[in-house]
Amino acid sequence: MPDAARYHRLRLVLAAAGLALSIGFLAALLLTGAAHALARAAADATASAWGQVAIVAVVLGAARAVLTFPLGWIRGWWLPRRFGLLHQSLQGWLADRAKATLLSGVFGLAAVEVVYALLGATPLWWLWATAALLAASVALAFVFPIWIAPLFYRLTPLADAELSARLLTLARRVGVPAVGVWVADQSRKSRTANAALVGLGRTRRIVLFDTLTARFTPEEIESVLAHELGHHLHGDARRGLAVQGALMLASFWLADALLRAGAPALGLAGPADPAGMPWLALVLLALSLVALPLGNGVSRRIERQADDFALAATGNPGAFIAAMERLAELNLAERRPSRWKEFVLYSHPALERRIARARGGLA
């Protein structure tokens, strides 16, 4: 797929440009003294430490959002439309982006407030911050299908009673019961297809994109769902949280050391000085880039196990391969990324490797 290779190459270039722009923005704040000026203005506006952190965080977040918006528009709307993946109007895309920005802004501000409150309260802030943010991640998993997903999709019960019964039977048979099957109106925005098992416990439900139900056979849909069921049966949400927690703990611990080491050179009153927020952001950004290959390596291993489970649960490797081929076409997947690109950037094994592994079971 030449178009797929070009599409992903352009996305990578745009992502790298956005990353460089963010790094340059944070570095400029530190080198020009703008971070100190902003912190002084916040202190003049309010004596509350929480208020000062909020002012600095909101101004920095808004400035970065404005600065990177053109690249985000190209990468998120223009480029997918250029390659036929997206047909959502600009107005609809902007509305979705505004909602996502508002949600991420609220959650991000809450996280920054927690981190800075702990920074000022205890030298073990990195430990307690990790615990608090992981707890928030679990809470979000519970409320996502009820409160967040409907903000972006119209979710309706699957009208095909036979297919619904088939999928719910599969879920019960493998030991991951769901409360029902819903369809998300993805076709209103894009041609891409997927399925998911969202929520935990009594909120767990199967969600299918309507692009999946319209173009895939019941056997293919069953194979896609079986992969997702494998994640839940293997406790991959818990394993993912454990990996995320370990990486976050290590990152916060190193960030603590680098924040304290950099405070004197940056003229900070201490690690909890809001003027150091760009430095903390830079440190965490650099550490996240270092940790990216490790996290993706663990994720690829988990995804391979979910593929193996889907093949065993359905006993239909032909349907699994057909589903992968159709998903590759609809989602414009890069079938054969280079080894280094897969190692660093891919959370799933390359498509050709997934298909070859499934074909091995046909022999």
| Percent of the chain surpassing pLDDT 70 | 98
Across 117-134, average pLDDT: 95
Q: What is the pLDDT of residues 314-342, one digit of tens each?
A: 999 999 999 999 999 999 999 999 999 99
Across 338-357, average pLDDT: 94
**Is 2 a residue whose pLDDT tops 70?**
no
Q: What is the pLDDT of residues 29-78, one digit of tens each?
A: 999 999 999 999 999 999 999 999 999 999 999 999 999 999 999 999 99
Residues sharing a CB contact under 8 Å with residue 165, sequence separation 6 or more, in sequence order = none
* Of 93, 90, 74, 66, residue with least CA distance to 10: 74
> Rounded to whole angstroms, how far apart are CA atoms 362 and 360?
5
Q: What is the mean pLDDT of the chain?
A: 93
Which of the two residues, 305 and 238, has the higher pLDDT score? 305
Residues sharing a CB contact under 8 Å with residue 341, sequence separation 6 or more, in sequence order = 12
| pLDDT for the residue numbered 363 | 40
Least confident of 63-72, 138-147, 167-176: 138-147
Across 146-172, average pLDDT: 92
**Is 199 a residue whose pLDDT tops 80?**
no
Please, which pLDDT band fits residue 146 given cuts at 50, 70 and 90?
Answer: confident
| pLDDT for the residue numbered 248 | 95
| pLDDT for the residue numbered 205 | 86
Residues sharing a CB contact under 8 Å with residue 186, sequence separation 6 or more, in sequence order = 153, 192, 193, 194, 209, 210, 211
> Rounded to whole angstroms, how far apart are CA atoms 350 and 342?
7
Q: What is the pLDDT of residues 84-122, one digit of tens each?
A: 999 999 999 999 999 999 999 999 999 999 999 999 999
